[in-house]
Structure 1
Amino acid sequence: MNLSSEAEEGGLKMLLKWAAEHGVEVSESYSSLGLGHSLSVSSFPGAGGRGVAALRPITKGDLLLKVPKSALITTRSLLSRDETLSVALKPHPSLSPTQVLTVCLLYEINKGKASPWHPYFLHLPRSYSILAAFGELESQALQVDYAVWAAQKAITKAKYEWKQASALMKELKLKPPLLSFRAWIWATGTISSRTLHVPWDEAGCLCPVGDLFNYAAPTEESDSFEDVDNWKNEYAKDDLDMHHSQRLTDGGYEEDAAAYCFYAKKNYNVGEQVLLSYGTYTNLELLEHYGFLLEDNPNEKVFIPLELDMHSLSCWPKESLYIHQNGRPSFALMCALRLWATPPYQRKSIGHLAYSGCQISKGNEICVMKWIAKKCDAVLKEMPTAVEEDKSLVHLIDKMEEYENPWEWVKEASAAFGGEYGNDNILKAACVVGRDEEPSTALVRTKMLIDRWKLAVQWRLVYKTVVARCLSYCTDIINSLSVQ
Structure 2
Amino acid sequence: MWFLFKPRRCPTIAAAATSSISKDGDCAAFLPWLRSKAGTCISSVLSLGTSAFGRSLFASEPIQEGDCLMQVPYHVLTQDKLPQQIRTLLAHGIGDTAKLAVLLIMEQHLELESRWAPYIKSLPTKDQMHNMMLWDPNELNIVKNSSIYDEAIEKKEQARKEFSALKPVFDHFAHLCGEVNLGDFMYASALVSSRAWQTPRGLSLIPFADFLNHDGVSGSVLLYDEQKDVCEIVADRNYAVGEQVMLRYGKYSNATLALNFGFTLSINRYDQALIRIDMPVKDPLYKYKLDIWQKHSLPISEDMYSSSDATCFVIKEVRSSRRKRMGIPQILRAFFRVFCAMSHEELEEMVMEAAESDGRLARYPLKNMEREIHAHRCLLLHFDNTIQCHSTAIEQLEIVDDPASRSMHPFRKEMAKELLIGELRVLQSAQAWVSNYCETIQSSE
TM over 0.5: yes
- Identify the structure with bigger relative contact order (alpha carbons < 8 Å, sequence gap 6+): 2
Contact kept? 2:272, 2:314, Cα under 8 Å: yes
Q: Map of 1:80-99 to 2, 5 A cutoff? A: 85-94=83-92, 95-99=94-98
Matched, 1:285 2:290: no
Q: What's the CA shift for 1:168? A: 1.4
Q: Give TM-score, length-normalised by structure 1.
A: 0.69
Contact kept? 1:106, 1:178, Cα under 8 Å: no
Q: What's the CA shift for 1:301? A: 2.3
2:229 is matched with 258
Deviations 1:290-324, CA, capped at 9 Å, x for gaps: 11223333332211122536876244437413221
Q: Which region of structure 1 is more displaced relative to structure 2, 369-378 or 101-110? A: 369-378
1:59 aligns with one of 65, 70, 93: 65
**Counterparts of 1:105 and 1:450 in 2: how far apart (Å)?**
28
1:417 is matched with 401
1:69 aligns with one of 69, 74, 94: 74
Matched, 1:477 2:437: yes
Flag structure 2 segments of 5+ consecutive residues without an equivalent. Answer: 1-17, 280-285, 304-312, 320-326
Q: Give secondary structure in 2 for the equivalent of 1:303.
A: strand
Q: What's the CA shift for 1:152? A: 2.1
Contact kept? 1:107, 1:172, Cα under 8 Å: no
Flag the 1:311–1:251 CA change in 2: closer, same or farther, 3 A.
Answer: farther
**Counterparts of 1:42 and 1:99 in 2: how far apart (Å)?**
29
**Counterparts of 1:464 and 1:53 in 2: how far apart (Å)?**
35
Q: Map of 1:2-401 to 2, 5 A cutoff? A: 3=20, 9-23=24-38, 36-41=43-48, 50-54=55-59, 55-60=61-66, 62-70=67-75, 72-76=76-80, 78-79=81-82, 85-94=83-92, 95-127=94-126, 128-144=129-145, 147-174=148-175, 179-201=180-202, 204-217=203-216, 250-264=221-235, 266-270=236-240, 273-306=244-277, 308=279, 313=293, 314-317=297-300, 319-320=302-303, 321-326=313-318, 328-338=327-337, 343-351=346-354, 352=357, 358-360=364-366, 363=370, 366-382=373-389, 385=392, 387-390=394-397, 392=398
2:9 is matched with none
1:245 is matched with none
Deviations 1:215-245, CA, capped at 9 Å, x for gaps: 23369xxxxxxxxxxxxxxxxxxxxxxxxxx
**Counterparts of 1:3 and 1:138 in 2: how far apart (Å)?**
31
Q: What's the CA shift for 1:74? A: 1.2
Number of residues paired by the alignment?
Answer: 386
Deviations 1:242-281, CA, capped at 9 Å, x for gaps: xxxxxx98233322111222234x3334365433233333
Contact kept? 1:141, 1:457, Cα under 8 Å: no
**Counterparts of 2:392 and 2:188 in 1: how far apart (Å)?**
34
Contact kept? 1:65, 1:263, Cα under 8 Å: yes
**Counterparts of 2:349 and 2:392 in 1: how far apart (Å)?**
42
**2:64 corresponds to which letter in structure 1?**
I
Deviations 1:27-61, CA, capped at 9 Å, x for gaps: xxxxxxxx73443446675xx5653345434325x
**Counterparts of 2:262 and 2:339 in 1: how far apart (Å)?**
38
**2:89 corresponds to which letter in structure 1?**
P
Flag the 1:288–1:387 CA change in 2: closer, same or farther, 3 A.
Answer: closer
Q: What's the CA shift for 1:149? A: 2.6
Flag the 1:370–1:108 CA change in 2: closer, same or farther, 3 A.
Answer: same
Q: Give secondary structure in 2 for the equivalent of 1:306.
A: strand
**1:216 corresponds to which letter in structure 2?**
D
Q: What's the CA shift for 1:17? A: 1.8
Q: Which region of structure 1 is more displaced relative to structure 2, 346-355 or 159-168? A: 346-355
Deviations 1:43-93, CA, capped at 9 Å, x for gaps: 675xx5653345434325x432111112x11122x34xxxxx322332334
Contact kept? 1:250, 1:262, Cα under 8 Å: yes
**Counterparts of 2:84 and 2:412 in 1: how far apart (Å)?**
36
Q: Give secondary structure in 1 for the equivalent of 2:276.
A: coil
Q: Please give the root-mean-square deviation of Cα atoms over the aligned residues, in Å.
A: 3.4
Alignment identity in percent?
Answer: 18
Flag the 1:469–1:171 CA change in 2: closer, same or farther, 3 A.
Answer: same
1:464 is matched with 424
**Counterparts of 1:324 and 1:478 in 2: how far apart (Å)?**
20
1:455 aligns with one of 391, 415, 418: 415
